[in-house]
Copies of this chain bind each other. A is one copy, B any other.
Amino acid sequence: MVPPFPLPAPMRRALALARAAAAADEVPIGAVVTKDGAIIGEGENRNRRDCDPTAHAEIVAMRAAAAHLNDHRLTGCDLWVTLEPCPMCAGAISHARIARLYYAVGDPKGGALEQGPRLFAQPQCLHRPEVYGGLAEAEASALLRDFFAVRR
Contact = CB atoms under 8 A, between A and B. Distances in A.
Given A87-B87, A117-B87, A119-B117, A92 B124 contact: no
B110 A117 contact: no
Interface residues of A, number: 42
Q: Chain A binding site: helix, strand, loop or mixed by DSSP? A: loop
Counted per complex, copies of this chain come to 2
B109 A115 contact: no
Interface in A73-105: 73-74, 86-92, 94-97
Nearest to A46: B72
A71 interface: yes
Interface of A: 47-48, 50-55, 59, 62-63, 66-67, 69-74, 86-92, 94-97, 109-110, 112, 115-119, 122-124, 126
